[in-house]
């Protein structure tokens, strides 16, 4: 049985989860914990290749339209690799693992956004991820409008700087994001022990403070 602690961050694009993940990692390290961070898709060599296929809006010019089930399967191929290469070894060594997105993203984006249904995603999770569940999921749920404004603004800046194109999902319409938002709310209702929703449109510092409270209530300080 793994000895570490597994925390995932979830939310819409632009919900602020990546900033909060970085801040939590720094805080936990300062408290003396050993922390391993990663994001999905990506984080392994195979995963980074899968990420560029799935996120680059130019992929469809070279590959043709990606079928929703192919998209889902690639997300799980990425996840299986990072569980094997990073997550399980880190948990077995007693580290705290912070993962930017995990299976809840597949349930929200592919299950609800692409309308493949939750059941198919959960079945896939059991088969491919050996049902490895996070101990805690921090679900950042500021309003859809605030999230999308941030995500789309960020993409425009990236395009102007000619950085990597990671726009494939962010071109979707508002209904796609409304379905995702609703799916996240349903996951939080279904699994209140694991999933803690943070709904406030509050400042980065206020949300960070709240995350410290939630995490310190669950993880005892390390014995140094
Ligand atoms: P990410 O890099 O976390 O984007 P952001 O920082 O904008 O939140 O995630 C990339 C995109 O991949 C994001 O639009 C959500 C999507 N995604 C899925 O559709 N299914 C999944 O299982 C995962 C992990 C991500």
- pLDDT, position 79: 98
> Residue 11: inside a domain, yes or no?
yes
Mean pLDDT of the chain: 92
- pLDDT, position 215: 97
Question: Which residue pairs, CB below 8 angstroms and at least 24 apart, start in 88-91?
Answer: 88/2, 88/132, 90/4, 90/36, 91/2, 91/3, 91/4, 91/5, 91/6
User: Which residues span the domain enclosing 209?
Assistant: 5-218
Query: How many angstroms is it from 136 CA to the middle of ligand 1?
Result: 19
With a pLDDT cut of 90, the percent of the chain lying above it is 73
Q: Which residue has a Cα nearest atom 24 of ligand 1? A: 40
- pLDDT, position 1: 55
Q: Specify the DSSP element, H or E, that contains 92.
A: helix 88-92
> Residue 179: inside a domain, yes or no?
yes
> Residue 57: inside a domain, yes or no?
yes
Q: Is the pLDDT of residue 184 over 90?
A: yes
Q: Which residue has a Cα nearest atom 14 of ligand 1? A: 169
Torsion of CA 158, 161, 162, 166, to 10 degrees: -10
| Structural domains of the chain, count | 1
Question: Which residue pairs, CB below 8 angstroms and at least 24 apart, start in 205-214?
Answer: 207/16, 207/20, 207/140, 208/20, 208/23, 208/24, 208/27, 211/20, 211/23, 211/24, 211/138, 212/24, 212/27, 214/136, 214/138
C-alpha–C-alpha distance, residues 118 and 69, integer Å: 13
Which of 13, 80, 153 best tests ligand 1's pocket when mutated (most atoms within 8 Å of CB)? 13
- pLDDT, position 114: 97
Q: Which residue has a Cα nearest atom 22 of ligand 1? A: 106
- pLDDT, position 126: 98
- What are the percentages of helix, strand and coil residues in the chain, rounded to 5? 55, 10, 30
> Residue 23: inside a domain, yes or no?
yes
Q: Is the pLDDT of residue 220 over 80?
A: no
Which of 8, 55, 83, 105 best tests ligand 1's pocket when mutated (most atoms within 8 Å of CB)? 105
- pLDDT, position 108: 98
> Residue 128: inside a domain, yes or no?
yes
User: What pLDDT band is residue 163 in, cutting at 50, 70 and 90?
Assistant: low
> Residue 35: inside a domain, yes or no?
yes
User: What pLDDT band is residue 45 in, cutting at 50, 70 and 90?
Assistant: very high
> Residue 224: inside a domain, yes or no?
no
> Residue 223: inside a domain, yes or no?
no
Q: Kindly report the CATH number assigned to the domain that includes residue 74.
A: 3.40.50.300
User: What pLDDT band is residue 43 in, cutting at 50, 70 and 90?
Assistant: very high
Q: How many residues does the chain have?
A: 224
- What is the tens place of the pLDDT at every residue in 55-83? 988 888 888 999 999 999 999 999 999 99
Which of 51-65, 71-85, 104-118, 193-207 bottoms out in mean pLDDT, i.e. has the lowest?
Answer: 51-65
- pLDDT, position 224: 60
């Amino acid at each position: 049985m793994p000895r570490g602690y597994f925390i995932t961050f979830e939310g819409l694009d632009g919900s602020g989860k990546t900033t909060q993940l970085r801040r939590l990692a720094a805080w936990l390290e300062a408290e003396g914990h050993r922390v391993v961070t990663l994001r999905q898709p990506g984080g392994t060599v195979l995963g980074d290749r899968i990420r560029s296929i799935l996120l680059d809006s130019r992929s469809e010019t070279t590959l043709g339209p990606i079928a929703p089930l192919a998209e889902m399967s690639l997300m799980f191929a990425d996840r299986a690799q990072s569980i094997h290469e990073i997550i399980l070894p880190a948990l077995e060594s007693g580290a705290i693992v912070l993962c930017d997105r995990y299976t809840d993203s597949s349930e929200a984006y592919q299950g609800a956004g692409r309308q493949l249904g939750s059941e198919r995603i959960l079945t896939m999770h059991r088969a491919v991820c050996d049902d490895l569940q996070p101990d805690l999921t921090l679900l950042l749920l500021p309003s859809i409008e605030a999230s999308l404004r941030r995500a789309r603004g960020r993409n425009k800046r990236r395009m102007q700087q000619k950085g990597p194109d990671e726009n494939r999902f962010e071109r979707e319409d508002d209904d796609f994001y409304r379905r995702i938002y609703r799916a996240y709310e349903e996951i939080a209702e279904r699994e209140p022990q694991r999933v803690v929703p943070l709904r406030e449109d509050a400042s980065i510092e206020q949300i960070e403070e709240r995350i410290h409270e939630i995490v310190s209530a669950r993880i005892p300080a390390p014995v140094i």
